[in-house]
């Protein structure tokens, strides 16, 4: 494999520093450079061959930034400029919160993985809405769809979760091209229990109520809602969540979040045993399996977003072929650097040419047929 200049020269330096410090540096730089970058570059669309209309939105290409990288929406203009076809900010909770004590992100380079237990450190819905309002005033929103990923504040009791999600949605409503209900992060105690049908239905009810209030007597539709699931659900629980999503008119499912599994890791025990969610290469197959299961069950009635262990265009292709219409990356971006989204788009185009595929949508579901 040929190493990019980032992987050969920059990554070895950055990987000597504390992961969260590097992340902060990256976000701070992109917060400053993003508006300039947005003037000179936008997301590639492969001359229209990578562009899809889904859920009433136009995605210039299928490669998105996964939730968790830009939790405070500080670098929103940078993502399309780096080639992303969409970006998801958050997780955002109704109340700002500091998250878990540091250190809380660990690299497992031998496994091309990360383990994190950040615990939804974020500025809260009101402050994030103010940041997004500033980007809008400067004309820096709208280059590519923006997803708003919502979670439950740590201090909120599980039975009050619906009100927490609803409060955040009200505040962030004007900026959401789509909304993700995150019930799958392993680092907020009890959050993943909200994936069960009863609690999830309660949250979706509360979101519907906000949508009804916000659209009453006004032009414009409510943003599509997606649900983000964990890879560790039992197969029948995945099916139940998909059935509920279908019943409730949810637009899509994002699969998957990080895993608590440590299967197949080669990193030393002292790294493997860190607490938190595992992401990156060891998650790839597991999340592709969930994509295939969800796609089969939904049979074209939900948009499936595939995320987990995508580093290359072949990894992205695998998720699309399993039934995802869109993909997202986080750990692959940390390991691959700023050129990753563009490289994946280029790689998809090259393989489409090689295999005689005219449009990216033709890849979707091909391995399931």
Q: Is the dihedral of CA 125, 128, 132, 134 positive or negative?
A: positive
Q: Of 31 and 35, which CB lies nearer to ligand FMN in the complex structure? A: 31
* Residue in 210, 283, 321, 343 binding ligand FMN, rule: CB under 6 A: 283
The residues in 249-268 that bind ligand FMN, with binding defined as CB under 6 A, are 257-258
Query: CB-based contacts of 177: which residues, under 8 Å, 6+ apart?
Result: 57, 86, 145, 146, 147, 223
Q: Is residue 47 classed exposed, middle or buried when 0-12, 13-18 and 19+ CB atoms within 10 A define those classes? A: exposed
Name the segment binding ligand FMN (CB under 6 A); options: 5-13, 93-101, 112-120, 294-302. Answer: 112-120
Q: What is the DSSP letter of 266?
A: -
Q: Is the CB of 35 or the CB of 64 nearer to ligand FMN?
A: 64
Q: How far is the CB of 212 from ligand FMN (least distance, A)?
A: 25
Give the nearest distance from C-beta 307 to ligand FMN in angstroms: 5
**Of the candidates 182, 195, 267, 313, which one interacts with ligand FMN according to CB under 6 A?**
182
Taking residues 334 to 363 in sequence order and writing x for each that binds ligand FMN by CB under 6 A, - otherwise, the string is ------------------------------
Of 98, 84, 88, whose CA–CA distance to 44 is shortest? Answer: 84
**CA 26/CA 135 separation, integer angstroms:** 18
Pick from 308, 333, 203, 317: nearest CA to 255: 308
Contacts with ligand FMN, 193-232, as mask; x by CB under 6 A: -----------------------------------x----
Tell me, residue by residue from 62 to 91, as one string, x for binding to ligand FMN by CB under 6 A and - for no binding. Answer: ----xxx--x------------------xx
Q: How far apart are CA 309 and CA 339, in angstroms?
A: 17
Least gap, CB of 250 to ligand FMN (angstroms): 16
Nearer to ligand FMN by Cβ, of 68 and 80: the residue is 68
Residues 6+ apart with CB under 8 A from 290: 229, 231, 233, 238, 255, 256
Q: In which element (H, E) is residue 30 found?
A: helix 19-40
Of the candidates 177, 284, 309, 192, which has an alpha carbon nearest to the alpha carbon of residue 241?
192
| Number of Cβ within a 10 Å radius of residue 361 | 17
Q: Is 244 in the site for ligand FMN (CB under 6 A)?
A: no
In the complex with ligand FMN, the residue whose CB is nearer, 35 or 228, is 228
Q: Does 310 bind ligand FMN (CB under 6 A)?
A: yes
149 is an interface residue for ligand FMN by CB under 6 A: yes
228, 232, 234, 235 alpha-carbon torsion, rounded to 10°: 60
Active site residue 361: no
The CA distance from 244 to 297, in Å, is 11
Single out the residue of 78, 210, 294, 307 in contact with ligand FMN (rule: CB under 6 A). 307
Query: Is residue 107 part of the contact set for ligand FMN (CB under 6 A)?
Result: no
Active site residues per annotation: 185
Q: Which residue ranges make up the site for ligand FMN (CB under 6 A)?
A: 66-68, 71, 90-91, 105, 114, 116, 118, 120, 149, 182, 185, 228, 257-258, 279-280, 283, 307-310, 329-332
């Amino acid at each position: 494999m040929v190493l990019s200049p980032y992987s050969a020269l920059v990554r070895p330096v950055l990987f000597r520093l504390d992961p969260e410090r590097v992340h902060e540096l990256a976000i701070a730089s992109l917060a400053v450079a993003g508006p300039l970058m947005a003037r000179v570059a936008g997301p590639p669309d492969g001359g229209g061959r990578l562009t899809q209309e889904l859920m009433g939105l136009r995605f210039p290409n299928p490669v998105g930034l996964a939730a968790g990288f830009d939790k405070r929406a500080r670098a929103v203009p940078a993502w399309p400029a780096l080639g992303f076809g969409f970006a998801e900010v958050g997780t955002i909770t109704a109340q700002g919160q500091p998250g878990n004590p540091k250190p809380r992100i660990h690299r497992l380079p031998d496994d091309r993985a990360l383990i994190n237990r950040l615990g939804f450190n974020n500025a809260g819905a009101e402050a994030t809405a103010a940041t997004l309002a500033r980007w809008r005033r400067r004309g820096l929103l709208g280059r590519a769809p923006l997803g708003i990923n919502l979670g439950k504040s740590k201090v909120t009791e599980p039975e009050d979760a619906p009100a927490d999600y609803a409060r955040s949605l009200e505040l962030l409503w004007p900026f959401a091209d789509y909304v993700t209900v995150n019930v799958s992060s392993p680092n907020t105690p009890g959050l993943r229990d909200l994936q069960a049908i009863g609690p999830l239905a309660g949250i979706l009810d509360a979101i519907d109520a906000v949508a009804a209030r916000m659209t009453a007597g006004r032009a414009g539709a409510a943003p599509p809602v997606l649900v983000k699931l964990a890879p560790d659900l039992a197969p029948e629980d995945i099916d139940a969540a998909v059935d509920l999503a279908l019943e409730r008119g949810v637009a899509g499912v994002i699969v998957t979040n990080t895993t608590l599994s440590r299967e197949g890791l080669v990193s030393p025990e002292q790294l493997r045993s860190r607490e938190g969610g595992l992401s990156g290469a060891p998650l790839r197959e597991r999340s592709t399996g969930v994509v295939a299961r969800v796609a089969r069950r939904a049979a074209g009635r939900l948009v499936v977003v595939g995320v987990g262990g995508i580093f290359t265009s072949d990894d992205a292709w695998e998720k699309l072929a399993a039934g995802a219409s869109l993909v997202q990356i986080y750990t692959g971006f940390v390991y691959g650097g700023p050129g990753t989204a563009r490289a994946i788009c280029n790689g998809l185009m090259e393989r489409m040419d090689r295999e005689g595929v005219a449009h990216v949508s033709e890849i979707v579901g091909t391995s399931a047929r």
